[in-house]
Structure 1
């Protein structure tokens, strides 16, 4: 991969990572104002739904047809459930643990789940065996959580 292309993709990845903690902080603030984590998450997802609808309209994406919908796995449609679990938990723990510890825990959980998904080839992901290097990386992330949370 050319270095410029990697740099652009890496910058986008960093931006996506930064957006996770910004979203958590904003929804945690809304949680305090509304005195309800669930309503704060609802408002966050409603804003996301409206933004996605505008993006779909702006890019003129066609609606999926019945054949496309029928060809997809029912489990693929459950992704939003995991998004709600993620943001609801993050909003609940961020005010108690702080942004850095919350994100460190989330990142470690993501990496642990990613290695398991890769190792077993779950959800149609190509198999990448869990080796000592990957497991070592997770252990180092765990050490990072311990350091950040002090």
Structure 2
């Protein structure tokens, strides 16, 4: 199995753990937003340490001012994803929450592809591409 597939599977396995682990500080701190804040802070420190070890240096900054405006929206996207999963996991259960998250990813990805947003090449919505999205949605509903 190629390393990229194993890496993606491992990353996917971490999402339910992250949501489950965030539920505990969410209860203690009184809000999934505060739990997501703590998670983001710990993630930032872990990424800094890991990045320094793996790359043996600081990141390049040349060209950062040339990034398109939407490249900086990654932070708010992460806030919505992290806080949303933190809030949803205790209410839906981890399996149903992950099924809904993956379904949301597939549906929104189809829209991004369809309209060629943010530099993507536009791809039409065909039955071959829409049917799996429908099956994801059906599966998520059945898991719930």
Correspondent of 1:49 among 9, 29, 44: 44
The Cα of 1:61 is off from its aligned counterpart by: 4.2
* Structure 2 unmatched runs, 5+: none
The Cα of 1:125 is off from its aligned counterpart by: 2.1
Matching residue of 2:124: 129
- Once the two structures are superposed, residues 7-63 of structure 1 have per-residue CA deviations (whole angstroms, 9 ceiling, x without a partner) of x22221111111111111100122122222121111100011001111221113443
Asked whether the 8 Å contact 2:52–2:58 carries over to 1, the reply is no
TM-score, with length taken from structure 1: 0.88
1:34 and 2:29 equivalent? yes
Q: Within 5 A, what are the aligned runs for 1:10-89?
A: 10-58=5-53, 59-65=55-61, 67-89=62-84
Matching residue of 1:141: 136
- Once the two structures are superposed, residues 67-116 of structure 1 have per-residue CA deviations (whole angstroms, 9 ceiling, x without a partner) of 41122112101101111011111111111110011011110000001111
Cα gap change, 1:113 to 1:61, in 2 (>3 Å): farther
TM-score, with length taken from structure 2: 0.91
Correspondent of 1:112 among 95, 107, 113: 107
Q: Distance in 1 between matches of 2:121 and 2:23?
A: 36
Segments ≥4 residues shifted beyond 6 Å: none
* Structure 1 unmatched runs, 5+: none
Q: Distance in 2 between matches of 1:63 and 1:9?
A: 23
